[in-house]
Structure formats: C-alpha cells, structure tokens
C-alpha cells in the first residue's frame, strides 16, 4: 500500500482527500484499436523522502496543504507532512498551554514605546554579531535617564528553558514513530529519510525539534549499550534529518523581544486587545478574513500563546554567571545536519544579518559546508501563473490588492520558494543513491 495513505497520529494533519468522482455512465468497452481511450493513471511513486513542515504563529497544518500537490509536480517522491500543534486549529480543544515555562528570577528591561528625543537608548549588541539596533538591553542594574514608563520587566528565562522547547520536545516525541529507526514494530515498513522545514515561529520549533531528536537518539543508544550483553537484536537508532530549512525568522541566539526588529511594539502578547490587533495588522497585513470581531475573539488566545512562546525563547546555552548575557553561546544543531536559512525580500520581521546569524548554530559557521542562505521575493508577480491562479494565496485568489506582507511567503507567495525546495529535495533523494526523481517519474 502507498504509505501516503497511512495514519500518522494527531501531530500530522494531511490535506483532505478529494471526494470520489461520480461514476461515469456505462459505455461499450473500447476496441483494441480505439486510440481515443485515455490510459489509466500511473500508480503513485513510493515515498523516498518526507518533508515535515512546522507552521508559523497562529497558523496550522493547513498552511502546507497546498504544498503536497505543488511539490508533487517537481518532486513526486517527496511527501509533505504538515504538523498540527496542540491547542491550535483542528486541535483547538486540546490544551495549548500545557508546556510550562521554567522561569528564572532575573528580569530584563524591554521597550514598550519608542524612545523620545533626549532619552537614553541603553542598548547593546549581541556578542560576536554586528547587527542594527534595536537589539538588546543590558540587564545589569543601572541608573537610567529614560523614564520608567518606557520599559517593562520581562522574564529573563533563557537560562532555564522555555515552553517553546518543551513544545518542540513533545512534537519530536509525537512524530518519532514516523522517523527512520522509530518504527513501533519490526513488522512495520521502514520509514523513509526526512527533512524538516519551519517558518517563522516554526523555524525555531524545527530547530529545537532537531535537537530533541538527537537527544532521543542518544537515549536509545545509551539504553542499547546497557542491554547489549543480554540482547541479541541490534539496536534501532533514530535517524537525524537530512537537512533543516529555517525560514522567516532570526537566528535562535537572537531570540527575545530585546532583539525584535519591531521597535514600536516588540512585546505583543500582553497588549490590550485593540492594541494587539493594531500591532498584528502592522506586522503581517490586514487580513480581510480576520475582520470579524467574533472570529478575532476565537483566535486571539491561541495567537497570544504563540507570541508569548516566541517572545520568551532564546536559543543560547547557559553562561557562567547565570544572570547576564555576556559569554552566552548559541545552541548547536547536531553535527553534520545541514542548515538552510531562508528569508523573503522586504520582510520586516527580521534583518538580513539576523538571518545570516543562523550560521552560528552549525559547526563551521558561515563558511562551513553545512550552512547555506537563500532569499526569495516576498511578493508573487501579478500573472495568471501566480499563486492566485492555483487558488493558493487568499489575497491573490480574490483578484484584489494583495494585503499580506512578505512574511506570509509560505501561504501567499510560495512559487519561487517551492521551486527551490523541489530542486533541493530532489538532490537529497539523488544523493541517497535513489534514481533521480525526474528519471523515475518518466520511467
């Protein structure tokens, strides 16, 4: 049976299957020389690679439902596996706040309004990276000439773990049975190799998922070593992803509101409702589908939870003095896992340097062989071949002015990005020793 039809559990929500077509009227069987009868459709090609996709804040697995059909035309042996996070969309009834934040006793001053003329900035840059302000406040106690109403205490919990990491750990556990080496039974067919794609908040979750998979792999190896003397069967170790695609977000080491490029409202999760939606529209565009007050009340809690995850996350290791940012080290991907940092031209949710800083999370840095950086247009051309003609972008499909900012490239303007991904995942399949996808499709 084609493994695209298998049940994957609650963490994976595939696009709904097309309803069966009504049977055609009975007709006489065509003769052997009847060239007008179309040939039967070819069976689907076996899956050679799975692409797990993690959505941005406020979105669900539906963000990637169109990708399966679009990628199949250029990469027919790749299966898109959209993640559905708990407490969101189809899992709205589940608890989305069950991943507690382990907060420390230290707090950082962060801006809650723009600096006025004559007020002191009191900013510093992240060590080792040259970035444009607004970037970070020095958390050390000091006398500020700026009035206190310009700042707000924000938990400095990056030394103790965050709820985003716990969510990523749960997601890794939820898809473990779909990874090579994670099969629940020896009778199960082997799972194909995989890659992970994450956009915006999903990029950080995908990064922490990869680290969590490595921890689970190490735990299996340790358990196998402990029972090696009494167990004859070889241990099954989880395979790491062939590649991580991190799209639409700053590097994890630049997490936190003090590094957010939004200098007006870097802290959005705690704003009053009207100010929250004003800031949301300014960041991502005025979505016509979100103008109903009833719908806003429905989605606002989950949006706030997601923004809180992002605002409290910092992808760095603990330092020696446990209170200051000096000397912190970026967390690393497992050794040998390639990373592609992806940005959209014109996206104001990150600076170009903040995307480049992803190289600090891989061995070898920016000059290493496992890091790449790609940029794509954040708006689709107004042509019949654009996303609107395929029914993808909600703003494009109505034929009106495009409302979405470039940050919504995954949903609204995915054509250029998907063309690159199709080519790149084909290269992954070919590198595994499989026949090139184009040749397989033509066979």
Report whether 400 contacts 388 (CB < 8 A).
no
**Does residue 420 have a pLDDT over 50?**
yes
DSSP structural state of residue 278: H
Residue 339 CB neighbours (<10 A)? 20
Query: What pLDDT shows up at residue 29?
Result: 55
Q: What share of the chain in percent tops pLDDT 70?
A: 66
Query: What pLDDT shows up at residue 388?
Result: 35
3-state secondary structure of 345: strand
Query: What pLDDT shows up at residue 114?
Result: 52
- Residues 37-54: pLDDT tens digits? 667 666 677 899 999 999
Query: What pLDDT shows up at residue 30?
Result: 54
Query: What pLDDT shows up at residue 250?
Result: 97
Q: What is the mean pLDDT of residues 189-217?
A: 96
Phi, psi (rounded to 5 degrees) for 211 = -65, -35
- Residues 118-137: pLDDT tens digits? 544 443 333 333 333 333 33
Residue 335 CB neighbours (<10 A)? 11
Q: What is the mean pLDDT of residues 64-73?
A: 89
Q: How far is CA 94 from the centre of its chain?
A: 21
d(CA 392, CA 414): 9
Query: What pLDDT shows up at residue 321?
Result: 42
DSSP structural state of residue 83: B
Kind of pairing between the strands at 151-155 and 107-111: antiparallel
Of 161, 193, 235, 246, nearest to 77 by C-alpha is 193
**Does residue 178 have a pLDDT over 90?**
yes
Mean pLDDT of the chain: 76
Is 334 or 387 the better-scoring residue by pLDDT? 334
**Does residue 106 have a pLDDT over 70?**
no
Q: What is the mean pLDDT of residues 213-235?
A: 81
Domain ranges, ordered by start, for the chain: 49-98+150-224+236-380+403-433
pTM: 0.77
d(CA 228, CA 236): 12
Of 127, 122, 114, 163, nearest to 139 by C-alpha is 122
Report whether 130 contacts 170 (CB < 8 A).
no
Q: Taking the CA atoms of 114, 118, 124 and 130 in sequence, report the sign of the dihedral they define.
A: positive
The answer regarding whether domain 49-98+150-224+236-380+403-433 maps to CATH 3.40.50.2300 reads no
């Amino acid at each position: 049976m084609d493994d695209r039809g298998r049940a994957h559990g609650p963490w994976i929500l595939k696009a709904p299957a097309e309803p069966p077509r009504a049977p055609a009227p009975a007709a006489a069987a065509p003769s052997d020389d009847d060239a007008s009868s179309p040939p039967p459709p070819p069976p689907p090609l076996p899956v050679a690679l799975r692409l797990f996709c993690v959505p941005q804040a406020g979105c669900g697995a539906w963000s990637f439902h169109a990708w399966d059909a679009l990628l199949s035309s250029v990469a027919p042996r790749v299966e898109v596996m959209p993640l559905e996070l708990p407490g969101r969309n189809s899992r709205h009834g589940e608890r989305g706040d069950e991943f507690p934040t382990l907060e420390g006793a230290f707090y950082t001053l962060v801006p809650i309004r723009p600096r006025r003329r004559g007020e002191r900035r009191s900013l510093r840059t992240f060590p080792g990276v040259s970035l444009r302000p607004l970037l970070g406040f020095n958390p050390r106690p000091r006398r500020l000439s700026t009035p206190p109403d310009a700042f707000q205490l924000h938990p400095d919990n990056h030394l103790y773990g965050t709820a985003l990491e716990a969510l990523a750990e749960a997601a890794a556990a939820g898809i473990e049975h779909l990874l090579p080496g994670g099969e629940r039974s020896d009778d199960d067919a082997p799972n194909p190799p995989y890659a992970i794609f994450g956009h915006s908040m999903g990029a950080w979750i995908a990064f922490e998922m990869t680290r969590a998979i490595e921890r689970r792999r190490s735990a299996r190896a340790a358990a196998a070593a402990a029972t090696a003397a009494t167990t004859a069967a070889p241990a099954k170790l989880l395979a790491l992803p062939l590649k991580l695609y991190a799209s639409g977000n700053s590097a994890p080491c630049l997490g936190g509101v003090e590094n957010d490029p939004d200098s007006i409202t870097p802290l959005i999760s705690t704003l009053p409702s009207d100010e929250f939606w004003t800031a949301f529209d300014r960041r991502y565009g005025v979505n016509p589908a979100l103008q109903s007050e009833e719908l806003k009340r429905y989605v606002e809690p989950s949006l706030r939870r997601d923004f809180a995850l992002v605002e409290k996350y910092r992808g760095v290791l603990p330092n020696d003095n446990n209170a200051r940012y000096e000397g912190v080290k970026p967390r690393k991907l497992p050794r040998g896992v390639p990373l592609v940092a992806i940005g959209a031209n014109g996206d104001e949710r990150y600076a170009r340097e903040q995307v480049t800083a992803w190289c600090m999370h891989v061995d070898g840095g920016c000059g290493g062989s496992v890091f790449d950086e790609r940029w794509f247009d954040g708006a689709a051309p107004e042509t019949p071949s654009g996303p609107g003609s395929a029914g993808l972008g909600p703003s494009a499909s109505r034929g009106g002015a495009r409302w979405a900012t470039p940050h919504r490239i995954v949903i609204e303007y995915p054509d250029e990005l998907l063309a690159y991904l199709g080519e790149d995942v084909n290269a992954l399949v070919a590198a595994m020793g499989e026949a090139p996808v184009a040749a397989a499709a033509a066979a």
